[in-house]
Amino acid sequence: FMLKEIYEQSSTLRNTLRLQDQFLELMTEFLDRAGEVFLVAAGTSYHACLAASYMFSKLAFLATHPIIASEFVEQHGKSVNIDSTILFVSQSGETADTLAALDHARLRASTILGLTNVIGSTLTRLSRVYVCQQSGPEIGVAATKTFTSQLSVLAQLALRLAKRRGKVSHVEIEFLEKKLQQIPDIAEDILRTQPGKIKQLAKKYCDKPCFFYLGRGISSATALEGRLKLLEIAYVPAIAYPAGESKHGPISLIETGFPLVFICPRDETHKMVVSNIMEMKARGASIIIVCEEGDEELKRLADDCIEVPKGVPEILSPIVYVIPLQLFAYYMALEQ
């Protein structure tokens, strides 16, 4: 089922582009009016929230707080109130930690918004407004297609909010809207061209006892998700960090042959990631890079490289850069 669901992503992403306009618009209005915004979820859905916090900030200039559901009450329980707007993201709409956070927020009279895949779930019943992501049932334990759909919905919300707030030029918004429409085709391209190579990588690295995933900016969320897939499915311990933070301790783990997966789209962080890669290379790490097609600078530094089609804008990059990582986890599991 995991493989089937990974391959479904080009069509689920198409479905996610056909959501009901009125609910997206209503949710955008709530976000626009909000005093403070929290994005609350568990596991993979939390990683979607983390990526979304970059989208909202970069496009709509809206600061949001992505919070792990099981920490929400401890961290913000006393401060959330009637002025807080909380977007709960849950594929199933039934995750106990997420619903516990939601119950607390309801008691404090906060505005509850929901993003879920299951109509009729508790999350849809308790939300002031909800959006259904339309990914179809997810049977596999590992969340795959539902993650990329969540990201697509969250990007649509961020774009709508940016438009409403007039923070970004209409030329840029139109460019990003057009790119979002192309994402399903890009996903299809990756699924057609990369699996053979990723299978070979899994064979090459399957004996490694531990992996390191690194990315900067929005790609730090992609790194966390890639790492979660690997440990959840292949039972291989893995660590993920924002690349800039890796030198504050975790770098001491690196020795000759330690496998490092860098997620490195050609965005504003590119130059800094190159210097992180050189740092790790100097310590003898084996460098696997997920980068843009034809990024010769990175290809020269990499031991192995997975290429993603050109021209994916930064805020949409997690939707496509995560797909090779899902496949890598799947093939690594088969090798164990």
Binding site for ligand M6R (CB under 6 A): 42-45, 90-92, 95, 98, 141-143, 228, 232
Name which of 42 and 187 has its Cβ closer to ligand M6R: 42
Q: Which is nearer to ligand M6R, 238 or 291 (CB)?
A: 238
Q: Are 111 and 128 in contact (CB under 8 A)?
A: yes
| DSSP sequence for 45-71 | HHHHHHHHHHHHHHHH---EEEEEHHH
- Residue closest to ligand M6R (Cβ): 43
Element (H, E) at 41: strand 36-41
Contact (Cβ atoms closer than 8 angstroms) between residue 3 and residue 330? yes
Q: Which is nearer to ligand M6R, 10 or 122 (CB)?
A: 122
Residue type (1 letter), 223: A
Give the nearest distance from C-beta 225 to ligand M6R in angstroms. 8
Both tokens assigned to 140? 């596999």
Whole-angstrom Cα distance, residue 327 to residue 276? Answer: 25
Q: Which is nearer to ligand M6R, 228 or 254 (CB)?
A: 228
| Helical pair 195-205 and 317-335, crossing angle rounded to 10 deg | 50
Q: Counting runs of H as helices and runs of E as strands, what totals does the chain give?
A: 14, 10
**Least distance from ligand M6R to the Cβ atom of residue 203, Å:** 23
Instruction: Confirm if 181 and 319 have CB atoms less than 8 A apart.
Output: no
* Shortest distance, position 98 Cβ to ligand M6R, whole Å: 5
Per the rule left: phi > 0, alpha: psi between -120 and 50, beta: everything else, 236 is beta
Query: Contact 9/323 with Cβ under 8 angstroms?
Result: yes
Cβ closest to ligand M6R, residue 67 vs residue 277: 67
Smallest separation (angstroms) from ligand M6R to the CB of 256:
32
Query: β-pairing, 286-292 with 238-242?
Result: unpaired
Nearest-approach distance from CB 178 to ligand M6R, in angstroms: 29
Using the structure block, give the residue that is written with the tokens 């690295």: 205
Smallest gap from residue 139 Cβ to ligand M6R (A)? 12
Nearest distance from C-beta of residue 145 to ligand M6R, angstroms: 11
The helix or strand, by DSSP H or E, that contains position 290, with its residue range, turns out to be: strand 286-292
Provide the minimum distance between the beta carbon of 224 and ligand M6R in the complex, in angstroms, as a whole number. 11
Closest to ligand M6R by CB, 119 or 278: 119
Q: Which two tokens stand for residue 316?
A: 């949409």
If you ran DSSP here, which 8-state letter would residue 222 be given? H
We find the least distance from the C-beta atom of residue 111 to ligand M6R, in angstroms, to be 20
Q: Which is nearer to ligand M6R, 112 or 280 (CB)?
A: 112
Task: For residue 143, give the nearest of 89, 184, 214, 106 by alpha carbon.
Answer: 89
**175 or 235: whose CB is closer to ligand M6R?**
235
Place of tokens 């404090």: 108
Question: For residue 250, what is the DSSP state?
Answer: G
| Nearest residue (CB) to ligand M6R, 6 versus 301 | 6
